[in-house]
Amino acid sequence: MQQMSSAQHFCRPPMLDELDGPSPRRPATDQPMGGRRILDIIPENAGPRLVTAKGAVAHAVRPPGSQTLLTRNHVATVVLACSPGTTTRFGGGEQHRYDAYTGTLIVIPADVEVEMGWSAAREELLVAWKPESLHELAIKALDMGSAELRPSKGKVDPQALHMAELLKAELARGEPPNEAYVESLILLFGIHVLRSYSSVNMRQVPPKGGLSDYAARRVHEYLDEHFTRKLSVIELAAVCELSPGHFIHAFSKTFGQPPHQYLVNRRLAFAEKLLLETEMTIAEVAYLSGFSSQSHLTSAMRSHKRITPAKMRKQR
């Protein structure tokens, strides 16, 4: 994804060529590995890349910039380091402005124009699939007759982040990446994208105002993985692709308590497990459970459990 000058914004956006086969503008001899030019929009010095029979993958670190793309292939990018001041616009629609937290996934379906901008250095992992490849995957792996990808404007996706980090690690090895391993991850990534961002899995918010089953599962998994660190409502709302105000209301309806209370209870449950099953000091338990100090844990446990950590440990 090359940075564009202001004058280039008035030109036709660059096209991502097919993963396989020569381009009509260049002879086939310019096509190492079949369709390497799928990744030509990312400068060679931005990071390593690999094109396989199942798709293409690249790891890139780029300075602040912007770009307009029109892709003939399905593309997904995962932000690997927080990138504030990000903008996304699909098909000339409304511009979506947000801080791209680590794990933010952007899905760009084939033949959909997208304008992207980032005001800070951006590290990302990009995966691309030919439409026929994802279609075949939908039939063989998911028993779907058809699945239309929907644009994703930037939501935190822990599962996509995990696969992106595995791909980055393989590309960053001091030797050529294992193509079979990369292909397997590309296929797994494709299955995840089909399950989560295609027409067969677009669930509506329940009429009572709670989270959809899909959003509830996503935020529950995200909290389960990240409850020990500081979390903001904005970050959790981004996981569900909702505004913070809507998220708080929908979360409370679904889980019976606001996000902050749910998070405190999750931390307390983990702290109780450590107190009863390990010999760690109370200060260590507090740190590992996400509390800022031993006194913070003691205060929270006394308020919500009517007991102190020391007394709980004595009951072991």
Decide: 280 and 274 in contact? Cβ < 8 Å: yes
Each residue of 11-44: b (16+ CB within 10 Å) or e? eebbbbbbbeebeeeeeeeebebbbbbbbebbee
Q: What is the pLDDT of residues 122-140, one digit of tens each?
A: 999 999 998 888 888 887 7
Confidence of residue 294 (pLDDT cuts 50, 70, 90): very high
The pLDDT mean for the chain works out to: 80
Closest CA to 88 of 59, 61, 124: 124
Q: What is the pLDDT of residue 38?
A: 57
Q: What is the pLDDT of residues 142-180, one digit of tens each?
A: 766 566 788 887 788 999 999 999 999 999 988 899 999
With a cut of 60, say whether residue 1 has pLDDT above it. Answer: no
Q: What is the pLDDT of residues 244-270, one digit of tens each?
A: 888 999 999 998 899 999 999 999 999
**Which of 26-30, 88-92, 101-105, 203-207 is predicted least confidently?**
26-30
Q: What is the pLDDT of residue 198?
A: 81
pTM above 0.85, yes or no: no
What is the secondary structure of 76-102 as a DSSP string?
A: EEEESS-EEEEEEEETT---EEEEE-T
Q: What is the pLDDT of residue 297?
A: 92
Q: Using the 8-state DSSP alphabet, how is residue 293 labeled? A: S
Q: What is the pLDDT of residue 190?
A: 92
Q: What is the pLDDT of residue 83?
A: 87
Confidence of residue 298 (pLDDT cuts 50, 70, 90): very high
